[in-house]
C-alpha cells in the first residue's frame, strides 16, 4: 500500500526546487519551514491512510449513471467530506474567499500525494481549483461573492467544459451557442464531451465553466466566450434555486480512472426549466473566453503532470515491495539459502532504479515549475517577468515528461510483477490504466511540444532558455568541483547532456527564425524529452550536492550517478533526431498514404 | 477494422527472411510460391473477415466460469469450428497425424494475422500446437496414436501446465506431485495457476501437459517429469471415457486478453473419479520433463513474439486510419480548407512512421528466426548446427523486441487517438491491454536477455554471433554500394549501429569469460534491445534493396531511411549502458533498501 514519501517530497521542494531560499527570503510572508513540514505530513497522512485505501474500490466499482444521477464508488462521498473538512480544497485560494493563500509549491506536493492515493478521486478537486482560479481572476464581484466561498470550501465543486466531438485540441472549432437574454445573463445550448466530474453526488451544486460562441462572434478562437453555468441556480440569499437546463447524458467507459465520471453534458435541451437554454453568467469579456482559459491552463497542465508523478511514485513503491518479497531463481552473487528475492537480479534492480530516477526527476521538474509560478506571483517588474517565463518554459516539459514517466514507470511496474502484474487484483495494472490518460488530456504531449518549441523557446528572443541552460551548466560544474567520488562520471555526462540540449535549442531557434516551421516541429517531441532528461540529470545532481544533513546524500548521489551513467546517454540520440530527423520524416511521409 | 497485410508479409517472408532462396533451392520440397501465396491470402482472409470482427466481443464479454464450466464469448465456438475446418490447426504438424507439414515460416506468418484479429482467440490454438510438438517428439507411439490425430485436427485442444504460485520463472521450485500407479500410468496431485485455455467449451476433450515431481525425484529442475493428463480419459476405441480428476477452480481477472480463460487448475482433489488423483501418462523419461519442455520452448517464445507484432500491426492500421480521418488544427504547409487531418502534423506522422518501422522490423526478425528453424530442420550436419544456432540466437531477440514493440506501438496508437484512445469502445486501448502480457509470459523479456547473453552469445565460442554481425555489415555495405539516393544516410548509420552491436558483443563475451556474470547481466536488457534495433535497421535495408519488382521499393527505402536517421542513434546509448552501466548500478543498489 502506498505510503506518502513526505521526507523526499520536502527535501525536493526545499533543496532542489528552491523553496528553502524563498522561505529564507520571506517570499512567502510569514510561512515557515515548520508549517510547511506540518502541512506535508498531514497531507501525506490523508493520502496514505484515507485516500489510498479507497483507490481500488473506485477502480472496481467506477462511477455509474443511474436514472440520470451519478453514483460515486462506495466510501467516496465520505472521503470527499473528510477531505474538504481538512481544509484541503482552499489551500492556495485567496483568503478573501476562505482560502489559505499558501504557495503553489505546497499545493502541487499535496496534489501529488492525493493522486498517488487515487488519481480518479483527486482529479475532481483539481478541476474545482481550476474553476476557482478562473472565476477569481475574471469574474465580476457579484459572481465571485455568489460562488467562490462555497467553491473554495469545497461545498460546491467546479468543472471545465471545453471539448466537443469535433473540437478537442482545436477549440476554435467549437459550436456550443450562447444567446443574450437581455438582462446581462445568457442561455447556453450545446453538447460537451469528456467532462470530468461533470455530474456526481459529492456536492449539492456543481458549477460548470463552459466555453460557447455568441451569435455575432467572429469565427475561430477569437469568438469564444466563457460562461459560468450552475447545475442549480442560486437565490439572492445563497440558497439553491431552480434546476438549470443542463444534465449528464451518459458516462464514458474508459481504460482507467474509473472512479472519475467522464460525462457528456447537454446544455439547453429543455429538460429542466420553463424556458429552453441553460442560464449562464459571463466570465471575463465576450469573445475573450480563451484568454480566461489560458489563465488557468498552465496550472492545469502542471496539475496533470503531478498525476504522472503520483502514479510513478505509487507504482515504484509497489514494485520495490514486491521485488523484495518475491523469490525466484538465484541471482549472481546471492549467498542466501534457496531462491533469491528478485530484487537481487541485476535486471530487476536496474528497472527499479530507472523507475526511481524518472519519478524523482519528474518530481523535481514539476516542483521547480511550481516554484517559478510562486516567484512570478511574489515578484514584481523584471523579476516577475523572469519567473513568468520560467514557469511558461517549464510547464510543457513538466507536463509531458512527468506524464510519459507515469506511463513508462507503471508499465515497468507491471513487468517487475511478472504474471501477477497482469492480474487486476494485484493493482499494478490499474496504475498503467490510470496513467495512460495523462499524456493525452490538458493538451496532448505532442501539443505540449509544439507549445514548447514555438512559444516558449522564443521567450525574450531565446535569452530565457539560454540563461536557464547556463544555470544547468553551473550544476554540472558544481558536481565536478565537489570532488565526491560517489558521483562517478556524472559531471562529464551531465555536461554532455546539457551540451546536447544547448545544440538542439540553438538549432530550433535558428530553424524557427528561418521560417522552417515544419522542420522545427518534426523534432519537437524529441526536444521536449531531451530537455526533461537533461533536467532530470541536473536536478538529481542538485539534490546530491545539497547539504541536507539528513544522512541521505550518499543515496541521492548514487541515484544521480545511476541516472547519469545509464539514462543520460539518450540525449545524444534525441539531439540527433531534432537536428537531423526532419528530412527523412518528410521523405517517408508517402509511406503512410 | 484490421485488414491482413498479406503483400507485406509475403514480401518479408520471401525477400527479407530468406524464403525465396529456400523455395528456389527446394528446401521445402515441392512447396512453391503459388501455394505459399494462396495460403497467406486465405489465412489473411480468415483473420480479417472471421477472427477480427469477433475480437471486440471477446474482450467485452470475456470467458466466464459458470457452474464449473467455462463459457467462451458469443460466436467464438463457431469461429473455432470454422478455423479447424479450414485445416489451420495442423499447418506444421506431421502428415502422419493428419498435419500438412508446411514450413514454420508460413505458420508464424499466419499466426501473426490471426493474432491481429484476436490475440485472445489465437492464443488457444498456439498452446495446442505446442502440446502437439511435445507429444510428437517425446511421447510413446501409443500416446501419439491415441491423442495426436485429434489434437492435430483441432478436435481436442491442448494446454501447458507449468506455473505454480511459487514457481513461475523458476520451475525448479514446483511442487505438483506424481505417483506411480504400478501399471505404467501415474496419478497427479497439485495446483497449477495461469493455465491458458485450461478449460473451455471449444472441444469435447482437453489434453493437459503437466509438469510434476515423482516422490523419489531429485530436487530442483532435475526432478521434474512431464505428464499428459486428459480432461476425459480415452477408451481403447478412441471414444471418451470417465472424467479425469482435474478441474478448473477459478479464472483470473486480467488486464487484457479477456476472451482467453486463464485458469487455476486443480489436479487430484477427488472431485472426479473413484480414486483420488488425476490419471496421467508420462511423456519422455521420468525426471527429464524439463528437456521435453525445452523442445517446444523456443517455438513458443517465437509464437509470443508474433503476438507482439500482431498487436503492433493492428494498432498501427487503426491509428493511421484515424489520423487520416480526424481533423484538428492546421498543420504547417497545410493548404486545404479548414482543419487539416492530424496525419499532416509532423509529430503525428513521426509517431505513425515509428510504429510502422518497429512493426516491420520486429516482423522481419521473427520471420528470420522462423526461417532458421525451418533451415535447421531441413539441413544436416554443420549446416543444421549453423541454423540451429541462428534460431537459438534470434529467439530471445524476436520474443523481446517484438513484444516490447507490441506494447510501445499500442501505447503510441492510443496517443494518436487523443481522448478517444482512452475510451474503450474505440478499440485502441484494448491493444495495449492485450499486448501487455506478451513481454511477461513464456519467460519475461528480462529472462530472454539473460538467455541471450549467457547461453546464446557463447554458441560456438562466440563465432556464431560474430558471423551474424559480419552478415549485417555486408547489408550496410550493400546499401552504400547501391547508390540509391533515397537511402540518405542509411549506410553510415546502419554501419555505426552494427559497430555498437559488435563492441557490446565483444565486451559481453569478454566479461562473461572473465567470470563477471553480474556485470554482464546488468546490461543484458540493453544489449537485447540494441540487437533488435540493429536488426531492424539491417532488415529494413534488406527489404529496400530487394528487387521486388512490385514498385514499392521507394517506400521501403524511405521507411528504412526514416528508421536509420531517427531510431538507430539509440544504439550508442544502449551500447554505453552495456559497457559502462554496471558500476553505477551496483553502487546504487542500496538506494532500493
Contact A592 B320 (CB under 8 A): yes
**Which residues in chain B have their CB less than 8 angstroms from residue A175's CB?**
none
pLDDT at A550: 65
CB B530 within 8 A of CB A355: no
Nearest of A367, A366, A372 to residue A387 by alpha carbon: A372
Domain membership of residue A134 as a residue range: 6-153
* Shortest CA gap B450–chain A (Å): 9
Mapped onto helix, strand or coil, the DSSP state of residue A18 is coil
Helix B104-117 to helix B346-378 angle (10° resolution) is 140
For residue B318, tell me if it sits in a domain: no
Residues B161, B266, single domain; the answer is yes
Of B153, B177, B206, the residue at which a domain comes to its end is B153
Residues B73, B12, single domain; the answer is yes
Alpha helices in B257-345, H assignment, sequence order: 289-325
Cell digits for B466?
560474430
Residues B212, B241, single domain; the answer is yes
Residues A149, A11, single domain; the answer is yes
Q: What is the pLDDT of residues B226-262, one digit of tens each?
A: 999 999 999 999 999 999 999 999 999 999 999 999 9
CB B550 within 8 A of CB B513: no
For residue B81, tell me if it sits in a domain: yes
Share of chain B above pLDDT 70, in %: 99
Residue A484 φ then ψ, to 5°: -90, 120
Residue A17 φ then ψ, to 5°: -90, -5
Cell digits for B472?
549485417
Of A153, A184, A200, the residue at which a domain comes to its end is A153
Beta strands B206-212; B157-161: pairing state: parallel
Beta bridge partners of A288: A224
User: Residue B336: which residues within 8 A CB-CB, separation 6 or more?
Assistant: none
User: Residue A270: which residues within 8 A CB-CB, separation 6 or more?
Assistant: A245, A276
Cα-based torsion angle of the residue sequence A374, A375, A377, A380 in order, rounded to the nearest 10 degrees: 180
For residue B411, tell me if it sits in a domain: no
Neighbour tally for B481: CB within 10 Å: 11
- Residue B326, phi-psi category: left (phi > 0), alpha (psi -120 to 50), beta (remainder): beta
Beta bridge partners of A211: A226
| Stated length of chain B | 593
Cell digits for B387?
541454423
Whole-number Å distance between alpha carbons of B426 and B318: 10
Beta strands B177-180; B157-161: pairing state: unpaired
Beta bridge partners of B161: B210
For residue B485, tell me if it sits in a domain: yes
For residue A63, tell me if it sits in a domain: yes
Return the residue in A357, A591, A593 with the most chain B beta carbons within 10 A, the one to mutate for interface testing: A591
Cα-based torsion angle of the residue sequence A275, A280, A282, A283 in order, rounded to the nearest 10 degrees: 180
Q: Check CB contact of A537 with chain B, cutoff 8 Å.
A: no
User: Looking at the 3D structure of chain B, how many domains does it have?
Assistant: 3
**Which residues in chain A have their CB less than 8 angstroms from residue B589's CB?**
349
Of A153, A186, A202, the residue at which a domain comes to its end is A153
CB A97 within 8 A of CB A137: no
Whole-number Å distance between alpha carbons of B245 and B256: 30
Residues B161, B149, single domain; the answer is no
CATH code, domain with A68 = 1.10.540.10
For residue A490, tell me if it sits in a domain: yes
Residues A217, A130, single domain; the answer is no
Nearest of A313, A253, A250 to residue A65 by alpha carbon: A250
DSSP A273: S
Mapped onto helix, strand or coil, the DSSP state of residue A249 is strand
How is B213-257 classified by DSSP, letter by letter?
B-TTPPSGGGGBEEEEEESEEE-TTS-EEEEPSEEEEEE--BSS-
Mapped onto helix, strand or coil, the DSSP state of residue B444 is coil
Neighbour tally for A235: CB within 10 Å: 11
Cell digits for A119?
488519481
Residues B521, B580, single domain; the answer is yes
Which of A50, A133, A344, A442 does the annotation list as catalytic? A442
Query: HSE of B154 in the Cβ direction (CA atoms, 13 Å)?
Result: 21
Cell digits for B142?
501409443
Whole-number Å distance between alpha carbons of A59 and A120: 8
Q: Check CB contact of A169 with chain B, cutoff 8 Å.
A: yes
Alpha helices in B25-118, H assignment, sequence order: 33-45, 55-61, 76-85, 104-117
Rg (CA), chain A: 24
**Which residues in chain B have their CB less than 8 angstroms from residue A346's CB?**
518, 521-522, 524, 582, 585
Contact B356 A445 (CB under 8 A): no
Residues A459, A581, single domain; the answer is yes
How is A35-73 classified by DSSP, letter by letter?
HHHHHHHHHHHIIIIIIGGGHHHHHHH--EEETTEEEPP
CB A423 within 8 A of CB B254: yes
Residues B575, B494, single domain; the answer is yes
DSSP A91: S
Cell digits for A426?
494485484
Query: The cell 451544486 sits on which residue?
Result: A205
Sequential pLDDT tens for chain A (593 residues): 999 999 999 999 999 999 999 999 999 999 999 999 999 999 999 999 999 999 999 999 999 999 999 999 999 999 999 999 999 999 999 999 999 999 999 999 999 999 999 999 999 999 999 999 999 999 999 999 999 999 999 999 999 999 999 998 888 899 999 999 999 999 999 999 999 999 999 999 999 999 999 999 999 999 999 999 999 999 999 999 999 999 999 999 999 999 999 999 999 999 998 889 999 999 999 999 998 888 778 889 999 999 999 999 999 999 999 999 999 999 998 999 889 999 999 999 999 999 999 999 999 999 999 999 999 999 999 999 999 999 999 999 999 999 999 999 999 999 999 999 999 999 999 999 999 999 999 999 999 999 999 999 999 999 999 999 999 999 999 999 998 999 999 999 999 999 999 999 999 999 999 999 999 999 999 999 999 999 999 999 999 999 656 667 799 999 999 999 999 999 999 999 999 999 999 999 999 99
Q: Check CB contact of A515 with chain B, cutoff 8 Å.
A: no
Burial B246-261 (b: 16+ CB within 10 A, else e): bbbbebbebbbbbbbb
pLDDT at B550: 65
Whole-number Å distance between alpha carbons of B354 and B367: 20
For residue B350, tell me if it sits in a domain: no
Neighbour tally for A82: CB within 10 Å: 13
* Shortest CA gap A100–chain B (Å): 34
Q: Check CB contact of B169 with chain A, cutoff 8 Å.
A: yes
HEC profile of B245-273: CEEEEEECCECCCCCCCEEEEEECCCCCC
Which of B442, B503, B553, B570 does the annotation list as catalytic? B442
For residue A309, tell me if it sits in a domain: no
Contact A577 B566 (CB under 8 A): yes
Cell digits for B434?
492485450
Helix B104-117 to helix B289-325 angle (10° resolution) is 50
Alpha-carbon distances of B45 from A26, B28, B101, B401, rounded to whole Å: 72, 24, 21, 27
pLDDT at B548: 57
Q: Is B313 a catalytic residue?
A: no
Whole-number Å distance between alpha carbons of A88 and B566: 46
Q: Check CB contact of B561 with chain A, cutoff 8 Å.
A: yes
Residues B12, B149, single domain; the answer is yes
Residues B146, B177, single domain; the answer is no
Q: What is the pLDDT of residues B141-174, one digit of tens each?
A: 999 999 999 999 999 999 999 999 999 888 989 9
Whole-number Å distance between alpha carbons of B129 and A338: 35
pLDDT at B460: 98
Burial A478-499 (b: 16+ CB within 10 A, else e): ebeebeeebbbebbebbbbbbb
Query: The cell 487539416 sits on which residue?
Result: B340
Could you say which residues of chain B have pLDDT below 70? 547-551
The residues in B 108-127 lying below 8 A from A, measured between CB atoms, are: none
Q: Check CB contact of B362 with chain A, cutoff 8 Å.
A: no
Mapped onto helix, strand or coil, the DSSP state of residue B339 is coil
Mapped onto helix, strand or coil, the DSSP state of residue B185 is strand
Beta strands B185-196; B177-180: pairing state: antiparallel
CB A564 within 8 A of CB A537: yes
pLDDT at B273: 84
Whole-number Å distance between alpha carbons of A265 and A259: 18
pLDDT at A552: 74
User: Residue B401: which residues within 8 A CB-CB, separation 6 or more?
Assistant: B305, B361, B362, B365, B528, B529, B531, B532, B533, B535, B536
Whole-number Å distance between alpha carbons of B489 and B481: 13
CATH code, domain with B184 = 2.40.110.20
pTM for the model: 0.97
Whole-number Å distance between alpha carbons of B346 and A585: 8
Q: Check CB contact of B168 with chain A, cutoff 8 Å.
A: yes
Residues B148, B240, single domain; the answer is no
Whole-number Å distance between alpha carbons of B524 and B593: 23
Nearest-CB residue to B592 (from A252, A353, A570): A353
Amino acid at each position: 500500500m502506498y505510503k506518502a514519501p513526505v521526507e523526499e517530497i520536502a527535501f525536493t521542494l526545499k533543496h532542489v526546487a528552491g523553496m528553502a531560499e524563498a522561505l529564507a527570503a520571506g517570499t512567502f510572508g510569514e510561512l515557515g519551514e515548520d508549517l510547511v513540514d506540518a502541512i506535508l505530513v498531514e497531507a501525506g497522512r490523508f493520502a496514505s491512510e484515507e485516500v489510498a485505501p479507497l483507490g481500488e474500490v473506485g477502480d472496481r466499482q467506477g462511477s455509474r449513471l443511474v436514472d440520470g444521477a451519478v453514483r460515486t464508488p462506495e466510501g467516496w462521498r465520505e472521503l470527499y467530506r473528510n477531505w474538504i473538512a481538512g481544509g484541503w480544497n482552499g489551500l492556495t485560494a485567496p483568503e478573501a474567499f476562505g482560502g489559505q493563500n499558501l504557495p503553489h509549491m505546497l499545493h502541487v506536493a499535496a496534489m501529488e500525494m492525493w493522486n498517488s492515493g487515487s488519481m480518479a478521486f483527486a482529479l475532481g478537486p483539481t478541476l474545482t481549483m481550476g474553476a476557482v482560479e478562473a472565476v477569481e481572476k475574471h469574474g465580476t464581484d457579484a459572481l465571485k461573492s455568489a460562488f467562490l466561498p462555497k467553491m473554495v470550501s469545497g461545498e460546491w465543486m467546479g468543472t471545465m467544459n471545453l471539448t466537443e466531438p469535433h473540437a478537442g485540441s482545436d477549440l476554435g472549432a467549437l459550436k456550443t451557442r450562447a444567446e443574450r437574454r437581455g438582462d446581462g445573463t445568457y442561455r447556453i445550448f450545446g453538447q460537451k464531451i469528456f467532462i470530468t466530474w461533470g455530474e456526481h453526488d459529492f456536492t449539492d451544486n456543481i458549477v460548470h465553466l463552459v466555453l460557447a460562441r455568441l451569435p455575432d462572434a467572429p469565427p475561430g478562437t477569437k469568438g469564444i466566450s466563457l460562461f459560468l453555468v450552475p447545475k442549480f441556480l442560486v437565490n439572492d440569499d445563497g440558497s439553491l434555486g431552480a434546476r438549470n437546463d443542463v444534465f449528464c447524458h451518459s458516462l464514458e467507459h474508459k481504460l482507467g480512472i474509473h472512479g472519475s465520471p467522464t460525462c457528456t453534458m447537454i446544455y439547453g435541451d429543455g429538460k429542466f426549466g420553463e424556458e429552453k437554454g441553460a442560464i449562464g453568467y459571463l466570465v471575463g469579456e465576450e469573445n475573450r473566453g480563451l484568454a480566461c482559459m489560458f489563465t488557468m491552463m498552465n496550472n492545469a497542465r502542471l496539475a496533470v503532470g503531478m498525476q504522472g508523478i503520483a502514479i510513478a511514485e505509487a507504482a515504484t513503491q509497489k514494485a520495490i515491495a514486491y521485488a523484495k518479497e518475491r523469490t525466484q531463481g538465484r541471482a549472481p552473487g546471492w549467498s542466501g539459502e534457496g531462491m533469491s528475492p528478485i530484487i537481487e537480479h541485476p535486471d530487476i534492480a536496474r528497472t527499479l532504479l530507472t523507475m526511481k530516477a524518472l519519478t524523482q526527476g519528474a518530481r523535481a521538474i514539476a516542483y521547480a515549475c511550481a516554484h517559478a509560478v510562486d516567484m512570478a506571483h511574489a515578484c514584481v517588474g523584471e523579476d516577475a517577468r523572469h519567473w513568468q517565463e520560467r514557469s511558461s518554459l517549464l510547464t510543457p516539459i513538466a507536463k509531458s515528461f512527468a506524464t510519459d514517466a507515469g506511463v513508462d514507470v507503471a508499465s515497468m511496474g507491471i513487468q517487475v510483477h511478472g504474471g501477477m502484474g497482469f492480474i487486476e487484483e494485484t493493482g499494478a495494472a490499474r496504475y498503467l490504466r490510470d496513467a495512460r490518460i495523462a499524456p493525452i488530456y490538458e493538451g496532448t504531449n505532442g501539443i505540449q511540444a509544439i507549445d514548447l518549441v514555438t512559444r516558449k523557446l522564443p521567450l525574450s528572443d531565446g535569452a530565457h532558455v539560454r540563461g536557464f541552460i547556463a544555470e544547468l551548466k553551473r550544476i554540472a560544474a558544481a558536481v565536478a568541483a565537489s570532488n565526491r567520488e560517489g558521483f562517478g562520471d556524472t559531471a562529464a555526462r551531465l555536461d554532455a547532456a546539457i551540451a546536447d540540449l544547448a545544440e538542439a535549442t540553438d538549432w530550433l531557434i535558428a530553424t524557427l527564425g528561418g521560417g522552417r516551421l515544419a522542420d522545427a516541429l518534426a523534432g519537437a517531441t524529441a526536444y521536449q524529452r531531451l530537455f526533461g532528461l537533461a533536467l532530470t540529470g541536473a536536478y538529481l545532481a542538485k539534490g546530491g550536492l545539497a547539504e541536507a544533513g539528513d544522512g541521505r546524500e550518499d543515496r541521492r548521489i548514487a541515484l544521480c550517478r545511476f541516472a547519469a551513467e545509464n539514462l543520460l546517454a539518450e540525449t545524444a540520440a534525441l539531439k540527433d533526431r531534432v537536428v537531423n530527423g526532419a528530412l527523412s520524416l518528410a521523405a517517408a511521409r508517402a509511406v503512410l498514404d
